[in-house]
């Protein structure tokens, strides 16, 4: 039995409490919980502005629609509540994970035996002369809507990319010609000591699908982006993505990073793996670097398919593909 199931094997019975600090979902007396000072930990979370739930299905919070349940799921309403939530977890030694829009993530079928901190409520955009300040939970499409209404087209290279700002910065998402790291002025993060610090772009260590923020697991609070640079046609980029990627299917996005100078999708295609399936998980026939959930796929099926693809590509090209998505074990 996996760790999450060992920790949370009993059935949950719910009762709701109305609170001016948010809707709080509590398990009834007798429910098994991890061995920490549970009452104190829960009390501190409940004192923060946000929504607290237990045994939350992660399938509802990821773009691929896969995953078990999170022991705790908290959605802070303010950046300060996010900071205090993380500090609380660190004080109690309780495992936690930040979750934005749920792209580029694959959760175990066992779920997550800690606290998932959702940034879904941490939204806000402030336009200024030549820049825009954005909170970590702001979805990229909403950001593009705002700047496009102001006549600004320089961020349109992000069109069609799912996810929120925080995750996009950590992964340095973008296109071959430009990434979000190229637009960053500064990023506010929480350092390992629980202190808020503001990083300049040069301190973020941006590279291909990588950053210091991702490497050091620094939670993003907000960022300021420059609005200079060449304009991009949003409609043109969206049309290209829709024609070449399975945007309407359940997926986590590109599964593998492109090896230097090569295309992971083309390599997978040349290895004859388009359309290959394991259970309800399938290598997309539209773009081979996507694995799609046909409905009810399990993490175990997707991981098996990933292993097969890596082995076949290595056998054909002697190149071991590196994962771009993050696999979270339960």
Alpha carbons 111 and 122: distance in angstroms, whole number: 24
Active site residue 254: yes
Q: What number of other Cβ atoms are within 10 A of residue 136's Cβ? A: 27
Active site residue 324: yes
Q: What number of other Cβ atoms are within 10 A of residue 291's Cβ? A: 32
Alpha carbons 104 and 82: distance in angstroms, whole number: 21
DSSP string, 91-116: HHT--EEEESS-TTEEE-TT-EEEEE
Alpha carbons 212 and 229: distance in angstroms, whole number: 24
Q: What angle do CA 127, 207, 154 make, to 5 degrees?
A: 30
Phi first, then psi: give them for residue 161, nearest 5 degrees: -90, 120
What stretches of 110-260 adopt beta strand conformation (E)? 112-118, 125-128, 131-135, 174-175, 178-179, 184-190, 196-200, 220-226, 250-254
> Where do runs of H (alpha helix) occur along the chain?
3-7, 38-46, 79-92, 140-149, 165-171, 212-215, 234-244, 264-270, 299-317
CB neighbour list of residue 326: distance below 8 Å, 6 or more residues apart:
104, 105, 106
Alpha carbons 57 and 313: distance in angstroms, whole number: 34
Q: What number of other Cβ atoms are within 10 A of residue 45's Cβ? A: 24
The SS3 call for residue 180 is helix
Alpha carbons 105 and 100: distance in angstroms, whole number: 10
Phi first, then psi: give them for residue 100, nearest 5 degrees: -95, -115
Q: Of 84, 138, 301, 324, which one is the catalytic site residue?
A: 324
Q: Of 209, 224, 298, 310, which one is the catalytic site residue?
A: 209
> Is 34 in contact with 113 (CB distance < 8 Å)?
yes
Q: Of 254, 298, 301, 310, which one is the catalytic site residue?
A: 254
Residues labelled catalytic: 209, 254, 324
């Amino acid at each position: 039995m996996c760790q999450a199931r060992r920790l949370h094997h009993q059935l949950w019975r719910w009762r709701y409490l109305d609170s001016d600090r948010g809707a709080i979902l509590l398990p009834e007396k007798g429910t098994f919980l991890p061995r920490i000072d549970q009452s104190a930990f829960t009390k501190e979370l409940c004192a923060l502005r946000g929504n607290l739930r237990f045994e939350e299905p992660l399938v509802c919070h990821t773009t691929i629609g896969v995953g078990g349940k999170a022991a705790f799921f908290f959605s802070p309403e303010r950046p300060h509540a996010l900071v205090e939530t993380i500090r609380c977890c660190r004080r109690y030694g309780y495992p936690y994970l930040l979750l934005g829009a749920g792209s580029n993530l694959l959760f175990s079928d066992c779920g997550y035996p800690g606290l998932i901190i959702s940034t879904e409520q941490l939204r806000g955009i402030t336009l200024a002369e030549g820049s825009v300040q954005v909170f970590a939970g702001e979805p990229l499409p909403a950001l593009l809507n705002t700047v496009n209404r102001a006549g600004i087209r320089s961020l349109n290279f992000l069109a069609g990319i799912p996810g929120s700002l925080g995750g996009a910065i950590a992964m340095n998402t973008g296109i071959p010609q430009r990434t979000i790291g190229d637009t960053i002025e500064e990023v506010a993060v929480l350092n390992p000591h629980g202190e808020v610090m503001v990083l300049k772009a040069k301190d973020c260590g941006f590279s291909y699908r990588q950053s210091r923020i991702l490497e050091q697991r620094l939670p993003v609070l907000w960022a300021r982006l420059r609005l200079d640079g060449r304009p991009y046609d949003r409609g043109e980029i969206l049309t290209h993505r829709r024609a070449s990627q399975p945007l309407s299917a359940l997926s986590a996005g590109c599964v593998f990073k492109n090896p230097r100078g090569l295309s992971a999708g083309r390599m997978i295609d040349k290895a004859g793996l388009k359309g290959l399936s394991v259970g309800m998980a399938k290598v997309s026939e539209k773009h081979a670097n996507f694995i799609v959930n046909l409905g009810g796929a399990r993490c175990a099926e997707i991981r098996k398919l990933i292993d097969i693809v890596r082995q076949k590509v290595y056998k054909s090209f002697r190149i071991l593909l590196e994962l771009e998505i993050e696999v979270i074990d339960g």
